Chains A and B, each alone.
Chain A
Amino acid sequence: MEKHSKAYKTLAAGVAIAAVASIAGLALLVNIFERKQEAKNPFFRVVELDDAVEDPAVWGKNFPLQYDGYKRTVDMKRTRFGGSEAVPRTPTDADPRSLVAQSRIEEDPRLKTMWAGYAFSKDFREERGHAFMLDDQTFTERQRVVQQPGTCMHCHASVYVPYKKLGDGDLTKGFEKMNKMPYQEARKLVEHPVSCIDCHDPKTMELRVTRPGFLEGIRNLKAAEGVKDYDPNKTATRQEMRSFVCGQCHVEYYFKGPEKRLVYPWHNGLKVENILAYYEKEGYKDWTHKISSAPVLKAQHPEFELWSQGIHARSGVSCADCHMPYTRVGALKISDHHVRSPMLNINRACQTCHHIPEAELKARVENIQEATFKLRNRAMDAVVDLIADIEKAQKAGKPEALLARARGHQRTAQFKLDFIEAENSTGFHAPQEAARILAESVDEARLGQVVLRDPGYKPTLTRLDK
Chain B
Amino acid sequence: MQIELQQIHKRFGDVHVLQGIDLKVDAGTIHGLVGENGAGKSTLMKILTGYLSRSSGEILIEGRRADYTNPAAAAGLGIGMLYQEPQDFPPLTVLDNFIVGRDSHPDNDRGRQQQRLSELGAQVHFQLNGSSILGSLTVGERQQLEFLRLLGRNARLLILDEPTTGISDRQKERLFTALRLIRDQGRTILLVSHKLEEIAALCDRVTILRHGRVAGEETAPFHIPRLLELMFDQAPESFLQTDRHLPGERLICFENVSASGERTGLKACSCRIYQGEVVGLAGLSGSGQGLFLRLAAALQQPLQGSIRFHDSPLAGQDHRAVRKMGGCFLPANRLEEGLITGFSLVDHFTLARGCSRNDAWTEATAAISRFNIRATPNSPAESLSGGNQQRLLLSLIPETASLVLLENPTRGLDVASAKWVWDYLRGHFRNQGALIFSSAELEEIMAVADRILVFFDGRVVRDLPIDQVDYQDVASAMTGN
B is a partner of A:
no
